[in-house]
Amino acid sequence: MAGPLLRTEHLSREVAGKKIVDDISLEICAGDVLAVVGPSAAGKSSLLRLLNRLDEPTAGTVYLDGVDYRRIAPREVRRRIGLVLQTPHLFPSTVAENLRFGPRQRGEILPESAVRRFLEGVGLAGYENRDVYHLSGGEAQRVNIARTLANSPEIILLDEPTSALDDVSESGVEALIQDLIQKMNLTCLMITHDDTQARRLAKRILVMEKGRQTRLDIVASQSHA
């Protein structure tokens, strides 16, 4: 049996004497969907930043497919562990150019057919040439998700992808994530402040408080099927 795709071992980060992430050890296998929940300042987003290596652990490490990620080039780690940030932060250009950004970083050109396919996948068919300034919050977050998927990540990290959206956009983006998880069999770690959303989308739920993991729950299979 294949080992976990992503494994953290006593992962910790301390800033100015304060432990932001404290001794987190978890495993995510291919096709797994893990939600991380907890109150504000529990260290959820900081954990995601460590997994994507946007920040450096002060203790412990992350194994990507069994290899310590410090032995892999950081740019390659970030490509393989895709991160969807809470705020889309799209680049000032067209939607298609945003999708092409990731592949271009390693000298690849995303063909038009692939751009169309990714946009259809997130419910934005025909948006290729739209300027990102003219997108609604929900549309921008869909482009953000498509941009990360277009980079062919092995695992996708979602940092509260619906928290900055209005109610209508929130339910639309959540339905999209659920659809993508099922259709693409995504391996996914998502942060949410919403326990019920976590139960709808994830197979397991990790509860964090003050940087530490306090509980790991298995979600009944019918709730996310």
Partner 1 sequence: MLSQFLKTPLTLGLGQAAIVVVLCAVVTAFARTYSIHVERENAVGLSRGIVQIVLMGYVLAFALKGPKWVAVIILVGMILAAGVTAARRARGISGALRVSLYGLATGAGLVIVLMTLCGVIEWKIMSLIPIGSMIIATSMNTSAQALERFRSEVVSHTGRIEAALSLGADPVLAVTPYVRSAVEASLIPRIDNLRSLGIVWIPGLMAGMVLAGSDPIYSAIYQFVVIAMLYAAAALSSLTTTLLIRPRAFSSAGQLTLRPKKAAAH
Question: Where on the chain is the footprint of partner 1 (CB under 8 A)?
Answer: 15-16, 18, 20, 45-46, 49, 52-56, 70, 74-76, 78-79, 82-83, 85, 87-91, 101-102, 105-106, 147-148, 151
Residues 6+ apart with CB under 8 A from 123: 142, 172, 176
Q: How far is the CB of 148 from partner 1 (least distance, A)?
A: 7
The residue among 198, 166, 201, 203 whose CA lies nearest residue 180 is 201
CB closer to partner 1 out of 122 and 219 = 122
Residues 6+ apart with CB under 8 A from 78: 52, 53, 54
Q: Where are the beta strands (DSSP E) in 29-154?
A: 33-37, 59-64, 67-68, 81-84
According to DSSP, the residues that pair with 15 across neighbouring strands are 18
Q: How far is the CB of 81 from partner 1 (least distance, A)?
A: 9
Q: How far is the CB of 102 from partner 1 (least distance, A)?
A: 4
Q: How far is the CB of 84 from partner 1 (least distance, A)?
A: 9
Reported as type and span, the H/E element at residue 78 is: helix 74-80
CB closer to partner 1 out of 22 and 219 = 22
CB 4 within 8 A of CB 28: yes
CB closer to partner 1 out of 153 and 204 = 153
CB 139 within 8 A of CB 127: yes
CB 225 within 8 A of CB 192: no
CB closer to partner 1 out of 138 and 211 = 211
Q: How far is the CB of 39 from partner 1 (least distance, A)?
A: 15
Number of H helices, E strands in the chain: 7, 10
The residue among 111, 95, 193 whose CA lies nearest residue 146 is 95
CB closer to partner 1 out of 75 and 215 = 75
Q: How far is the CB of 217 from partner 1 (least distance, A)?
A: 25
CB closer to partner 1 out of 43 and 121 = 43
Rounded to an integer, what distance in angstroms lies between the CA atom of residue 46 and that of residue 23? 13
